Structures are given as C-alpha cells and as structure tokens.
C-alpha cells in the first residue's frame, strides 16, 4: 500500500475535496505532474485540465475539471486553489462553449490592443487548452 497524503481542492464557491490520497495528477502550466507523499515541495500555476486523484477514501478515484489556479505541494499534503472547479460529471458542452467564448473574446481584445505581445499569446493558449479539455470530456 502506497503512503497517503492530505489532499484539499478548493474553489471560490466551495471545498470540493478534503481527503487522504495516494497520488494527485495535476495539470500544471508547465506540464502535467503527479504528486505523491514526500514529493519535493513546489508551488505551480495551473492550466485548464483534469485533476485526478488516486487512492482516495476507500481507494476511490475522482476527477475534477479546473480552469486554472495554483497548487501547493508540500510533501505530506497537496492543496489546490482553483479559479473554478467541478467534478467532471458536471461538465457540459454548454459550459465549455461558454468558457471558450469568453476566452476568445479576451484573446480578440488583446490581439487588437497588443498584437504579438505575451498576453495575447497566453490568451491563445488558454483557448487551445479549453478546446482540448472540451474534446476530452464532452466530445
């Protein structure tokens, strides 16, 4: 049996999870990572994606859609502060289309104000990340 660590997932609206888990797969901005007990400490930003937990209470697995935020990995615990988060079972095509539309609007505004600037590139990446997650979760 793998060692357990404390995992907490919080969004501005609610606490989605607080339990002992074996591993957390995190969609970090610089690439996916898996945190386990005694992981080296780190703080990272998150990109839109699916956060998965393994070996939770009663060995359960769970998956949550997150739009971004921060993860604090500190060996015995992982805390994720998400901009927006929900169980993947609550994700709908309508929700994803709304998020993508909002991101495209922001991208268009940045492109017209600051074409070729890093903020415009980041907005384009956000749109691409959201489209990828939509394809993964709702087709």
DSSP codes of every residue in 49-77: EEEEEES-GGG--EEEEE-SEEEEE-SSE
Name the 3-class secondary structure at 105.
Answer: helix
Q: From 76, 39, 45, 46, select the one nearest 64 (Cα to Cα).
A: 46
Name the 3-class secondary structure at 102.
Answer: helix
The answer to whether 20 and 57 have CB atoms below 8 angstroms apart is: yes
Q: How many CB atoms lie within 10 A of CB 105?
A: 12
Total-model pTM = 0.86
Q: How far apart are CA 133 and CA 122, in angstroms?
A: 16
What backbone torsions phi and psi does residue 26 show, to the nearest 5 degrees? -115, 130
Sorted by sequence, the CB contacts under 8 Å of residue 128 that are 6+ apart come out as: none
Per-residue pLDDT of the chain (139 residues; tens, 9 = 90+): 578 999 999 999 899 999 999 999 999 999 999 999 888 999 999 999 999 998 766 666 799 999 999 999 997 899 999 999 999 999 999 999 999 999 999 888 887 876 667 887 888 889 999 999 999 888 7
Which stretches does DSSP call E strand in 2-116? 5-10, 15-21, 23-28, 31-36, 42-46, 49-54, 62-66, 69-73, 77-82, 85-87
Q: Quick: pLDDT tens for 75-111.
A: 789 999 999 999 999 999 999 999 999 999 988 888 7
Length of the chain: 139
């Amino acid at each position: 049996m793998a060692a357990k660590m404390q995992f907490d997932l919080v969004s501005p609206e609610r606490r989605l999870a607080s339990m002992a888990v074996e591993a957390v797969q995190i969609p970090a901005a610089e690439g996916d990572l898996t945190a386990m007990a005694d992981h080296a400490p780190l703080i990272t930003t998150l990109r839109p994606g699916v956060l998965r937990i393994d070996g939770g209470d009663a060995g359960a697995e769970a998956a949550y859609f997150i739009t971004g935020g921060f993860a604090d990995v500190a060996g015995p615990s992982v805390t994720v502060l998400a901009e927006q988060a929900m169980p993947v079972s609550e994700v709908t095509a309508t929700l994803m289309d709304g998020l993508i539309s909002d991101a495209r609007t922001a991208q268009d505004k940045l492109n017209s104000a600051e074409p070729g600037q890093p903020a415009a590139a980041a907005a384009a990446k956000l749109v691409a990340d959201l489209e990828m997650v939509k394809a993964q979760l709702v087709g």
